Chains A and B, each alone.
Chain A
């Protein structure tokens, strides 16, 4: 049987082309990440000085910083995470511990996964209808509520996944000692899954701290310092949005600096979460 050399060569060639394209695709993906980060550093570092952290957002044409925006972002993110995390952890606990195989759980799991990737601007509209319209004005509370709605699905997902990794023998051993189920969950399962659950919370923080759309018409924006939760509050993403689209050069420079800060924070959080998750998750 004669070997069909030509045909074999053709197959090899086509395979090499495919392999080459796969390499190119990966190169392209990495290049995009590289170019985005390089642009951010190049444009953002230029405006980075102590004033950014010490002064309020300026009117056009004058100097200023991002202090009120940074503070506003921190306040709303912290409230949002503090409200959303316990709810998410409890719901995830139900899915993993009490109702692991029940019909209701699979429906909730399904809906939760949809909420996880649902458009965040819709969350903004929802909170607008729920809180802003009845209250009659925009407020930091509404902004924090919108963020909390985004935190819940992320935390539910990771909590459930992490609790499912906890070996059943641990639960059985504690039950055999006579521990009631709620204590088994809180003192044994939570302890075993702690690193993974913290990872989930960190990822949720990373996700909401960069969110702009849900804050646009809940917390609105505020050019001045405000510690009143019942009043509009500035946030870093919304300020970036407003300043980047403005025609003023000093505003645009501040927008780039803000963008650099927020990206640095978000990427640090997600790398930290990944590191924590990979090194200490239950096996």
Chain B
């Protein structure tokens, strides 16, 4: 008898039953909304929790060394003396060189993809460049250590050393025995890693240039170079800077690839061929072996500094990209 209940036409349910169904629906509605809302807030909570936990973890170091933590080069687990200057220096220098190398190449590829490339090849080449972004950073590390560092040692570094031998200042920058590993090698690996990110952003913002502007410029007889220089790049300048900052954020925080090839030396050398260290490489190398609370605390404090720097850089990047989005939408 009950089997037929769902099949036979039913008399409309009494008002009370309908009300309870509607009530149930209303409750799930509210519940679902609250669930999504709290998940969204969780994103904010994670960010806050990262800041708070790193601050608490690094509090010991900040209390012991004060502001001097940022300005001391000494890093000595034996005497329990820690200063963040060498890792901060290494992080900033490797990232800066990486951007110097990567940005022109990225813009070149983006121009190629948006202006020059035959239509049929656009998508495959774009995907290939994006795959470069998908390669895990540990792969860049192992490749850098066993393939790229020996290559740099054999062909690049001796060339640089002899080329600038008699140039004042520059012979300090490119000095010393060619180890293969070091600041320069790390920077070049970083450049390869951020290349796809910067390229992707540049290509996307180049696509926002209204075709009318370019066509008008070509119509006046401008060459491709002049169109790119005087129309495309000025129109998308904010977006390009945003993309560069995004890449910089990546480069500053990159860990594994750098850990393999930087050499892990806590010192600041004038030569960019010398081994050095970065914040992330120091943490990756020493954290599990750190004995003593102050040592661990100093490493966590380094993590907080890194997170703060990348947060600021990435926030600026987003603000700039938001501006170009508005422009494209308007």
Contact = CB atoms under 8 A, between A and B. Distances in A.
Chain B interface, DSSP helix/strand/loop, else mixed: helix
Contact of A266 (B32, B47, B109, B134): B134
Contacts of A36: 135, 139-140, 143
A70 interface: no
B113 to A, nearest CB: 7
Nearest to A213: B255
Interface residues of B, number: 89
A114 B318 contact: yes
Contacts of B19: none
A101 interface: no
A25 B223 contact: no
A60 interface: no
A29 B40 contact: no
Given A15-B225, A108-B43, A122 B50 contact: yes
A181 B27 CA distance: 11
Contacts, number: 265
A57 interface: no
Chain A interface, DSSP helix/strand/loop, else mixed: helix
Interface in A190-229: 206, 209-213, 216-217, 220
Contacts of B199: 29
A111 to B, nearest CB: 5
Given A115-B46, A216-B287, A262-B139, A22 B223 contact: no
A222 B25 CA distance: 49
Given A117-B249, A217-B287, A206 B134 contact: yes
A23 B256 contact: no
B209 interface: no
B310 A129 contact: no
Nearest to A105: B40
Nearest to B315: A114
24 contacts: A22-B109, A22-B115, A29-B128, A30-B125, A32-B132, A36-B135, A36-B139, A36-B143, A91-B39, A99-B37, A104-B40, A110-B318, A113-B314, A117-B246, A118-B314, A120-B253, A121-B303, A122-B253, A123-B50, A129-B54, A206-B134, A213-B137, A213-B256, A245-B145
